[in-house]
């Protein structure tokens, strides 16, 4: 699925926190703009048997991404896919280069400093003669094997005692609320709420503000200081709600 500013991916509200991505086996293509400007992203695990296409600007501007391991199934790398990323090493597991749109700089901005590792000596000449790939200044043969899946450490999930007192607070009636995400569509805002940890997922509401923005609220109070304190507590949990902020229901 392709994305843009009117149809953002459901995970966009967590951009500052996403450091590792694992794309499951069976996925054949990565949509346009799927992970554009994810500046905290340091690791990507692609499916080794199914991925065929990496879409337009899918990893544009991922400046913390240093290494890339492309499975041999990849056939196309589209416009600006890795432009202005931080790559210093790219492993290609296919002896034959994938197709690159040379006029749109799929790998622009990384070719001079990045090392391209290919399966064997004969592959080196193929990549050096392939459009787009021949812009790499350093292409080397490498004896490479399929690495084991990276170990992904799950962030700690908050408990009720961490997030709030055992007695749930009613969300209605408070002027100030703590928002953990927003969308221009109520259904998408509800999707954000449903992806929260269980202790928050069961106690959120969607509030419509000015400009047609729907905010996902997990706490409300008539005391702004109390709302701010709650916001600070959530941020300290270092989970997906660390992007929370305080809103005023009168002005929003």
The Cα–Cα gap between 86 and 42 comes to: 9
More confident residue, 163 or 214: 214
For residues 71 and 169, membership in a common domain is answered with no
pLDDT of 53 above 90 = yes
pLDDT at 44: 94
Domain boundary among 75, 106, 141: 141
Residue 224 counted as domain residue: yes
Q: Please list the helix, strand and coil fractions of the chain in percent, rounded to the nearest 5, in that order.
A: 20, 20, 55
For residues 209 and 240, membership in a common domain is answered with yes
The tokens of 243 are what? 């992007």
pLDDT of 127 above 70 = yes
For residues 171 and 119, membership in a common domain is answered with no
Tell me if 106 sits within 8 A of 77, measured CB to CB.
yes
Residue 35 counted as domain residue: yes
For residues 198 and 127, membership in a common domain is answered with no
More confident residue, 148 or 201: 201
Number of residues assigned to the chain: 252
For residues 137 and 166, membership in a common domain is answered with no
Per the structure, the complete domain to which residue 227 belongs is given by: 160-248
For residues 172 and 134, membership in a common domain is answered with no
- DSSP H helices, the chain, are 121-128, 160-163, 186-194, 198-201, 224-236
CA 99, 94, 80, 29 dihedral sign is: positive
Count the domains in the chain: 2
Please list, in sequence order, all residues whose beta carbon lies within 8 angstroms of the beta carbon of residue 25, skipping any fewer than 6 positions away.
Answer: 47, 48, 49, 50
For residues 239 and 171, membership in a common domain is answered with yes
Tell me if 123 sits within 8 A of 142, measured CB to CB.
no
pLDDT at 162: 36
For residues 175 and 83, membership in a common domain is answered with no
pLDDT of 103 above 60 = no
Banded pLDDT at 26 (limits 50, 70, 90) = very high
For residues 127 and 182, membership in a common domain is answered with no
């Amino acid at each position: 699925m392709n994305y843009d500013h009117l149809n953002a991916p459901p995970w966009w509200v967590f951009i500052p926190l996403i450091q590792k991505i694992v794309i499951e086996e069976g996925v054949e293509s990565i949509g346009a703009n799927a992970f554009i400007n994810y500046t905290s992203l340091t690791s990507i695990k692609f499916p080794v048997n199914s991925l065929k296409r990496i879409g337009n600007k899918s990893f544009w501007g991922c400046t913390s991404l240093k290494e890339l391991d492309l499975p041999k199934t990849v056939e196309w790398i589209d416009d600006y896919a890795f432009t202005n990323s931080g790559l210093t090493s790219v492993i290609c597991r296919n002896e034959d280069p994938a197709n690159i749109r040379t006029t749109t700089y799929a790998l622009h901005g990384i070719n001079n400093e990045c090392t391209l590792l290919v399966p064997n000596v004969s592959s080196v000449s193929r990549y050096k003669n392939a459009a787009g790939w021949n812009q790499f200044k350093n292409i080397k043969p490498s004896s490479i094997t399929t690495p084991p899946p990276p170990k992904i450490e799950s962030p700690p999930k908050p408990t009720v005692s961490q997030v709030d007192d055992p007695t749930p607070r009613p969300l209605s009636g408070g002027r100030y609320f703590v928002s953990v995400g927003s969308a221009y569509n109520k259904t998408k805002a509800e999707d954000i709420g449903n992806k929260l940890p269980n202790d928050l997922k069961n106690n959120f509401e969607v509030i419509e503000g000015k400009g047609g923005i729907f905010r996902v609220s997990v706490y409300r109070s008539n005391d702004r200081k109390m709302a701010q304190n709650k916001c600070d507590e959530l941020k300290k949990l270092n989970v997906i709600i660390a992007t929370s902020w305080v809103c005023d229901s009168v002005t929003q």
